[in-house]
Amino acid sequence: MTVSTIISHEPATGEELWRGAAGDVEEAVARARHAWPGWAAQPLANRIELVRRFANEVRRTAEDFATLVARETGKPLWEARAEIEGVINKVEISVRAYAERSAQRKLNSALKGTAAIRHKPHGVLAVLGPFNSPAFLPNSHILPALVAGNAVILKPSEKAPASGEFLVRCFHEAGLPEDVLQFVPGGPDTGQELVVHAGVDGVLFTGSVQTGIAINRRLAVNPGKIVALEMGGNNPLVVWNTPIVADAAVLVIQSAFSGAGQRCTAARRLIVQDAMYDALMDEVKRLADRIIVGAPFDEPSPFMGPVIDPATADALTDSFLYFLSQGGKAIKHMTRPKGDLPFISPGIIDVTAIKERPDVELFGPLLQVIRVSSFDEAIGEANNTRFGLCASLVGGSPEDYNRFWSNVRAGLINWNRSTNGSSSAAPLGGLGLSGNHRPSAFYAADYCAYPVASTELEQPRAMLGVGFRDA
């Protein structure tokens, strides 16, 4: 179904925040293709200088930007401010990443000339952004793409277009030519049009596994188009043999409920050693009961805002009821404290007795708990998923962590840290249903330019050897 008008609502109030017409993909691609050669021909130093100006523009408007993100996503203002700080910090990280991952190299070889390795931009890249971090996550694709010399078309989530528009405006205010980075709002149909457009040389996507798989299928017959997919996870957090129960419980809360559980790196499954179960769950529930769920600008500041919309809240509460109906044991019931608005309290449910657990990413503050008796069983449960984004071990010995790291399938593996503890100065990506082996963050430079190998001489030089008759 074609969506002609995009409307964004504030989750915390239900009020309309932004309205606009869907973008024209044909026009945007034509403009980007016309602008790209000139941008790619700019010296790297010029492109770096421009993105640094962008960082200054975001600094100048940081409070307005954070306020908009908080309103559009429902996240607390403190969390939105941290997101905007991440947007700024990403500039220098992207510059360093390009220098390290895409550096020019030359190898002199006497009479054989020079062997050179340089990197070229792909051309026009489509960035399809998510709603949960509508400034930071699209920016994490846009910056390395621009530094590498690509033109970019941003199609933000239809649930958070205002934040995407503000982000693009900051680039333009900093002096980036408008056709080099364009804002194209729209629904799923707009995203599909961008994905298959012959004038788009690559698709950089962050979002649900269903959409990511659909993109992968559509482009399976087009190997010339670069595709980078980051699709979340059904992430495990294992707590094992630690006397520091209070700190372990804090890590559980941070992993499962930061961002109202709407982070791709959030812990969805808590795997607990039998001997630790009672003490840990008592402390986790005690902390969960203290969580303030509120609107972005409430005082005191909430830990969690609402989820993105009522349909999401309904789906999460339905999932909690499903687990109960299948034999799950409620540790903390999920509730809707503000009627039809999408505020939900954290839900915690023991699903050990459920033999067939759905292997899906439940994108919100719903934590499943599984009891195990051996470390091998814990590793088996951690790997009991088709996803493979994040995993964390809390407690255990160095030997336990070595086994955990070696045997758990994930692209981000932490020890005594939350599952959310990722760094933009390191790669972030997963395997299985979590991604297609194109990690983002510091390694985003890898999919924003491609290497070109050359052998070069200033004058032609060649000779013929075996297999020719004498002249």
Q: Which of 83, 230, 361, 381 is catalytic?
A: 230
Residues 6+ apart with CB under 8 A from 97: 144, 442, 443, 444, 445
Axis crossing angle, helix 62-73 with helix 44-60, rounded to the nearest 10: 70
Nearest CA among 440, 451, 449, 452 for reference residue 146: 449
Q: Compute how many other C-beta atoms are within 10 angstroms of the C-beta atom of residue 355.
A: 8
Write the burial class of residue 393 (CB in 10 Å: 0-12 exposed, 13-18 middle, 19+ buried): buried
Q: Interior CA angle at 374 toward 372 and 379, to 5°? A: 80
Burial class (CB in 10 A: 0-12, 13-18, 19+), 131: buried
The C-alpha atoms of residue 372 and residue 275 are separated, in whole angstroms, by 9
Q: Is 170 a catalytic residue?
A: no
Active-site hit among 264, 381, 390, 448: 264
Report which secondary-structure segment, H or E, holds 124.
Answer: strand 124-128
341 to 29, 314, 361: CA distances (angstroms):
38, 10, 22
What's the chain's Rg over C-alpha atoms? 24
Residues facing residue 107 across a β-bridge? 115
Paired tokens of 356: 């067939």
Residues forming the active site: 230, 264
